[in-house]
Amino acid sequence: MRQAPLHVTFDLQRLLAWRPPPLRFDDFDEAHFHSACASARLNHFIISGAIALLAYLLFLLADHRLIPDVFDLAVQVRVYWYAPVAVLMFLIAFVARGFVLALPWAFMETVLMMTGVGAGASLGWLLTHSSSPYAGLYIAGLVPIVVYGNLVQRFRFRFAFVFSLIIIGISVACAIRRYGQSLPFDLFDFPLVLLVMLMSGYTLIMNYRLELEERRRFEMAVRASALHKKLSASRAQLDLMSRRDPLTGAPNRREFEGYVRERWEALARAGGEMALLLMDVDHFKAFNDRYGHPAGDQCLRHVAAILQKTLPAEQGCVARWGGEEFIVALPGMNARQAQIVAQAMCQAVQSAGLRHEGSATADSVTVSVGVAVARPAEGGINVDGLIARADAALYRAKHEGRNRCVVDEPDMVPA
């Protein structure tokens, strides 16, 4: 006996094993999905529902031709029963939108489904009360109702499936109700039922595909949003790293220069003063020679942390200037105030008790500070010039014995 080719057997097994993708996320994402779609679905319900209600009322023209014997009843059902309920639902959706959106999504979908079921049931009820020879053709009126529910209103698939079964049940019940009565055009009853079944099946397939695509778009949007947040966080982290000294974590030159430039311009407009402190860790080379460079790096980290703790962020900016040098910007401070801050920093570093047996100044790590102050609004000096004056003051602090602060005297600096 000739066997089927291997690839044919494999394809058949794969076909038999195929299952449609599930229309459900995990509980958290499922709740997120319905919450994210709730507002748009409510808007869609209001707009498409209003159009569908208009079409439902226009079917009175068909009622007049197909079931004239119960036309008054059709007017009563469509205009006085169904329409007021639908309008009331629209008003509630408009007036109490927040309340409606807070309702469980399954409850809302059930209410939406029942609007379609009500429309289909009204047609079946009118058909069973009519003795018109054309009443059997009325079953075809269930087709646009199926299309409305599955494709226009786009009930969620599980609700669309139940809705389609109910509409098919109505069409079958109507056909059975007419069966055996030798009514005109009764030969069309079951073909029309078959039409309703086929349209239900076709629209359910499309409904499934539409919801699947909607869920996939949502999933892609969630992933894109998460990726965007990660990229934004990474970009912020990279930006922060680019503005921080990698050794001490203090602001680097780039961050400091931006900070000073912004404050300098503001003070130029307001007429305030800007103070700069330039400081140096005393005998740092001797520290490295005695304890090693890793210990020197740790020393700089401790000094940076002490300086930043001494000066609140809202009062100024402490940055690493390079090597064992740190620089401090004190916008809005005069020479006396800056000197107090400098002395506090000197005292804080020495009080930390970081051992420095190679220092000729003290048994612990100390710093020397140069202070310079300028008034940006007066002109004649820029930031670089102010830094140069602070550097000159720092040189004097070292020359006078270190572990101290010296305030720059502008008249002592050569022009």
Task: Count Cβ atoms within 10 A of the Cβ of residue 173 and give its class: 0-12 exposed, 13-18 middle, 19 or more buried.
Answer: middle
Dihedral angle computed from the Cα positions of residues 220, 224, 225 and 230, in that order, rounded to the nearest 10 degrees: 140
Exposure b/e, 369-394, CB count within 10 A at least 16 = b = bbbbbbebeeeebebeebbbbbbbbb
Instruction: Provide the 3-class DSSP secondary structure of residue 321.
Output: strand
Contacts of 176 (CB under 8 A, 6+ apart): none
Reference 311, options 351, 340, 350; nearest CA is 340
Catalytic status, residue 378: no
β-sheet bridge partners, residue 46: none
Instruction: Catalytic residue, from 255, 324, 325, 378: name it.
Output: 324
Sheet holding 317-322, edge to edge: 317-322, 325-331, 274-281, 367-374, 405-407
H/E element holding 73?
A: helix 71-75
The values of phi and psi at residue 187, to 5°, are -65, -15
Measured distance CA(394)–CA(372) in Å, rounded: 10
Q: How many angstroms separate the first and last alpha carbons of the chain? A: 110
Contacts of 194 (CB under 8 A, 6+ apart): none
Q: Catalytic amino acids? A: 324
